[in-house]
Every structure is written in C-alpha cells, then in structure tokens.
Amino acid sequence: MGRALYNPASEISVRAFSFDPVDSGRPEEALLENLRKALQRRKAAIAATPEGAYRLVHAEGDLVPALVLDYYAGHGVMQVGSAALEPLTHALVEVIQAELPLQSLLAKNDQKSRSLEGLPLEVRPLLGQIPEFVWVQEGSVRYQVELQKGQKTGAFIDQRDNRIRLQTFRGQTALDVFSYHGSFALHLAQGFEQVIAVDSSAAALQRALQNAQANGFTNIIPQEANAFEFLREAEKQGNQYDLIVLDPPAFAKGKRDVERAYAAYKEINLRAMKLLPGGGILATASCSHHLSEPLFYQMLAEAAADAHRTVRILEKRGQGWDHPVLLNVPETHYLKFALLEVM
C-alpha cells in the first residue's frame, strides 16, 4: 500500500509517509523527498525574512511523520518523536543542510512522549555552535528564543500570525494570560496603555521583561501567577480589561482528559468574558487536538451563556500556514483561535 515508520512497541505503531505501492527505491527515500519538499515550501518566506521564525517541518502535516523542525533566525531546533525515525537522524540532517543550510542545529529530544517510543530524553547539538538564545523578528517586534532550555522548541511559532493580527486593536488595558515570554503582550504594547502578562513560569516572564526592554516598551507588566487564581481574583476585585488573550497549554493530553479539559477551558473563558466591558475583545485559543473545533466553539457558547453575555465571533483562525493540516489526519489541525467581541 505504501511506506510507513513502524514501531510495534509504540501507541502509534504505523506512521505513513508514502502511498505509492510501486515505489521501489530505498525505503526511506520517499521520506527524505517529503522532507526536501517541506523545506522548499518555506524557502521564499525565509528569504523574505531570514531573521524570522518558521516551522520548517510539521511532522504528519508535511508527510514527514514524527519530525518537528523549527527555524529561528538561521538556527534550527528539531524533535524526533519515533524510534523508527531516530536512526535516520544523520540522513535527515544531510538533507536539511543541502536544502537550507543552518548555522546550528539542536536536537531537543526532551519531550515526554519519547519514553513511550522507548527513546532516551536528551538535548544534543547536531551541527555548529548552539547559541544560548537567538533574537527573532515577528512583525514589528523582536523577541529572544532560549533554544536549549525554553519550552517546546523554544517558542510557539504556531501563534505567530495570530499575534501579529492583534496589533490592530487599541484600548487602555490588555491582559495576556499564559503569556510565556510576553509573546502576545509585545504585539499589544503599542495599542494599549498597559499590558499585563501572566504566566506561571518565572523564567519565561524574566525573558518577557528583557523582550519588552529590547523593543523599548515600558508598559508591559509581567505577573507570575496561576492563571486560574489570577482570573478568579481579578473577578473578585471587579477589574476590567479592554482585551484579553487566553492561550493555555493543552489541557487535554489524551482522549480520556477531554471532559475535565472542557471544564477547565470553559472556566477560564467564562471568567474572561465577565472581565470584559461591552465592546471588549477576547482572543482565545486551544492547542489540544483532542478538543475538536466544534467542541471548542460549543464550549465558548456555553461559557457565554453562563456568563450572561452576548458574544459575537469576529474571526475564526487557527495555526499558521507553516503548520499544514492533512484533511484525513485530524490530529494535524490542533490549534483553534477565536477572536470574539463581548457585546
């Protein structure tokens, strides 16, 4: 029928990358060709903004299953998530260097899912000298990416275009909840007098402050807190914000978590809706593929009803173009992003 990565010991035993039954080349050749094509699809964007950040390979979405490769201003960070792919690391690096030469390449193989594949958790250089962090341009702002110690591959590139989209909004106070290194806050700092960036990671907020300084912003206020407690307390205090961003981590890690995750998403959205005045904007996301798009919008509708607010959808968005979705692999469409107006 085709070719696939195979690991009988894994929860995902078969990961297909070719559906050509007559393909008679070396088994991995079709996979490496898919990698070449994925890199070629990003070349024009990188040539236009070499100091930007892009996902070069989005695993199944690019038919290179289990491989994630992100580009940060000339430096690469990759994650291998399958024991069948791991032995091909050297061949993958050769193709990457031939198509899109990088100054350095880090294998950030510390994701817990590797244990399910029987793979070690490790972070190791594959090419060049790995800098501690690199500066990346995103629209009109710059931010630093901590390559070795940051979350995921260092940054959340999937929200890049959604962050840039928020630059058009104006108001007095904005709230960026689950801010990481001040990502959305940086884009809101020009349009709002004050932006509060909330996250539970002190290290990420430390970088948020450095990012704000590097962009000349003095109106970003990092606040280390549990988002659930912060929102509860803000409601108790009767605080109001003109725009709120909610970009939580995946609350549903597996199918069995969906019910509990649904309640958690609803809680933060309901509270945020209560914190917005009429005309206020809620930019809200879920990156959990287990919470489907219909369920996400059902959750938002229930939150609005329970908050006794009339809410209008301004725009339905998702992950950036460099995170392609395979129609018949729903897991590849994981990021939901809604722009809502509370009336």
7 vs 284, beta carbon nearer ligand SAM: 284
Would residue 220 show up in a list of annotated catalytic residues for this protein?
no
Q: Give DSSP secondary structure letters for 293-342.
A: HHHHHHHHHHHHHHTT--EEEEEEEES-TTS---TT-GGG---EEEEEEE
DSSP designation for 122: E
- Listed in sequence order, the DSSP H helices in the chain are 29-48, 89-99, 113-116, 160-165, 183-188, 202-214, 227-237, 258-274, 293-306
286 vs 332, beta carbon nearer ligand SAM: 286
* End-to-end C-alpha distance for the chain, whole angstroms: 53
133 vs 156, beta carbon nearer ligand SAM: 156
CB of 159 to ligand SAM, least distance (A): 4
194 vs 201, beta carbon nearer ligand SAM: 201
Question: How far, CA to CA in Å, does 59 sit from each of 42, 55, 62, 75, 186?
Answer: 14, 10, 6, 19, 29
CB of 164 to ligand SAM, least distance (A): 11
Nearest residue to ligand SAM, using CB?
Answer: 183
Contact 134, 158 (CB under 8 A): no
315, HSE (Cβ side, Cα atoms, 13 Å): 10
Q: Active site residue: 185, 287, 303, 304, which one?
A: 287
32 vs 231, beta carbon nearer ligand SAM: 231
Contact 262, 297 (CB under 8 A): no
For 198, other C-beta atoms within 10 Å of its C-beta total 23
Tokens of 342: 């509370």
CB of 133 to ligand SAM, least distance (A): 15
10, HSE (Cβ side, Cα atoms, 13 Å): 19
CB of 283 to ligand SAM, least distance (A): 10
Q: How far apart are alpha carbons 248 and 80 in whole angstroms?
A: 24
CB of 100 to ligand SAM, least distance (A): 24
CB of 152 to ligand SAM, least distance (A): 8
89 vs 190, beta carbon nearer ligand SAM: 190
* Chain contacts with ligand SAM (rule: CB under 6 A): 151, 156, 159, 178-180, 183-184, 199-201, 204, 226-228, 247-249, 287
Enzyme catalytic residues: 287
